[in-house]
Structures are given as structure tokens and as C-alpha cells.
Amino acid sequence: MAKSELYGKDLICTQDWSLEELEQVLKLARQMKASRFSDQYTSLLRHRTFLMFFYNPSVRTRQSFEAAATELGGHAQFLEPGGMRLRTKSSAGETIEDAARVMSRYACGMGIRILEGKIEAYGDGDELIRQYAEQASIPVINMADDKFHPCQGLADVMGMREAFDTDSLKGKKLLQIWGHGALARAWCSVQESLLINSRLGMDITVAYPRGYDLDPQVMDQVRANCTAAGSTFEILNDSRAGYEGADVVYSRNWMSPVAYQGGLNRQEEIEKAMQYRDWICDESRMDLTNDALFIHPMPVDRGHEVSDGVASGPRSIIYDVAENRLHVQKAVMAQTMGE
């Protein structure tokens, strides 16, 4: 099998890839899902190692990447910074340049996950991954940073297309709405969803209480994506209005910009968020929609972000999306690392 045109390419944010490249991955992910253990795919990473570098813990991300490497015939190796002598602002150690170049001699690819709690300021996680990508000679995959989560965005798209039985989401309305909760979540999954779906022609409505604005540069890009795709974009500060006519509802908590100023105070963020109890996706709000799908990257904060009746209801595709993380990651790994 010949190398893909994507061979050696980093995936840090879907915005960095062309729509044609994203569609190439989504097409292969559908084929891999339909023929999951076919001999056609089970040797693409034979005898090859994928390094998984986790600054933050994970459930689905680690499981899905390990399973993906195994199903492609390779091996995923789990790494933590605490087990490595890496330089930090307060201690001596190996530089990113040296670490990335050595790792490139051992493996065919590297994934990095770094979120709030492991960074000092918003954007530091994304910058660290880009520094590794600059120094490494193997492809680097963003397994979630403080700004973006490309594999989650691809899995969301795959799940929606399957549920609607269509290859196009153009003209569908996505409501990306804040939900109160006790988890103080990063912006990455939400911002990735807005970026990729605005490029695919979805009409975008973002709703959140005042004071919970997302990254203004990302929002400007989402607005520009909608303009280029001929779709609509609006921001609301109402907990119900955005549901009218929605085809997809994505209710998720995210931190306020204040959380990134002067260090993260997670408990303070949680206490503030819990005051907005009207911001929950429940059956009465879903009744206002166009029989909308419910999606969420998980873990779901049930009873806060969304009611049990919606999260486990017939229009919820949360488990399909979670499964699709495996398939899109297999497709990305095969295209960027395999032959």
C-alpha cells in the first residue's frame, strides 16, 4: 500500500487541515468502522510504536488510542511527564527539542494531551504541542489541549452524519450551549466543534450566560467560516431561545475566561457555575427543537449539563460519538503514520 498524501502531517486543530483532507479521514473512518477487523487494515502500523504523552489523565482518549494502535497492528506506549526528566520553568531537565528528536527515533507518531491544571496560562498547552511538532520528525496528534480537540471534532461530525444518514450537514442548525455543572471544563471540545462544523456549512448558534465568552480569536474564525460557507452565526445569552429549530444540541459546561487569569481556581469556578441552574438541556427545551440530536464529548455531568431523560433518550448519540473516536483516530493514524 502506498503512503497517503497525509503521511507525516501533524493534526493539532482541524482548522489547520483542508476540507478535502478532513473528508479523506472521515471517509476512511467510515470504511474502517464497517470492516473493523479486516486484514486490509490490521497491519498498517505493524511493529510500529505510537507514543502517548499524557500531562492530564483520561478515560476515552487513552482507551481509544491504545485500541486504535492495536487494531492497526501497532503498539501504543503510555508516557507521563512525571516519569521523564523534562525541563520546566522551575527545574532543570531535557528540552522539548531534545525530547522530541529522540522520541522521533523510537516511534512512528506521538500524541500529546495537556489541559488546564498543567499550564499556567490559556494557550500554553497548545503552544507546547506545536513546539513538539516543530522539533519532531514524526507526526504529532493533539489528544486535547486547552484550545483544541481535533479527534473529538471529527468524531462529532461522523456521529451526526450517521444519525442523519447524510454526507452533508450543510443547512443543519447546531446549538452549542453552556450548561451549569461541577466539572469546570476546558474550551477545547466546544471550540473544535464550532470550528469544524462552521466549515461544513452548519448554521451556528452559541448560547451562554454573560461572562462565559470563549476565545475571541476562535470565535472570529468561526464567524469567518460561516461567512465562507454561506451559513449563519449568532451568539445568545438566553438559556432557551437557541433551541428553536435546532437540529443538533450540544450542551456542555465550560469555564469562564476569569479561570485562566492568575491560575486556575477550580472550586471557585464550580461554585460560580452552579448558580446558573436554569442552564440545563432538558426535555422541555428539546421539545422546542426540530427533533434534535443530542451530542456530548463525555463525561456527561448528568442533572447539570443535561437531564438523564435527554442524555439517555432516543435522540442521544453520545455513545456513537464516543465509539467514533476509535475509528477517526485509526483513520488519522493510518493516513499520517502508516504505509
Cis amide leading into 299 (omega within 30)? yes
Checking if the pLDDT of 278 tops 90, the result is: yes
pLDDT digits (tens, 9 = 90+) for 217-274: 999 999 999 999 999 999 999 999 999 999 999 999 999 998 888 767 788 899 999 9
Q: What is the CATH number of domain 14-148+323-337?
A: 3.40.50.1370
What is the CATH topology of the domain spanning 152-321?
Rossmann fold (3.40.50)
CB-count exposure of residue 7 (10 Å: 0-12, 13-18, 19+): middle
Mean local confidence (pLDDT), 179-190: 95
Residue 279 CA to its chain's centroid (Å): 22
Beta bridge mates, 86: 94
Q: Retrieve residue 323's grid coordinates.
A: 465509539
pLDDT at 76: 98
Q: What's the pTM?
A: 0.96
As annotated, the residues of the chain forming the CATH 3.40.50.1370 domain(s) are 14-148+323-337, 152-321
pLDDT at 67: 98
- 226: alpha, beta or left, given left = phi > 0 and alpha = psi -120 to 50? alpha
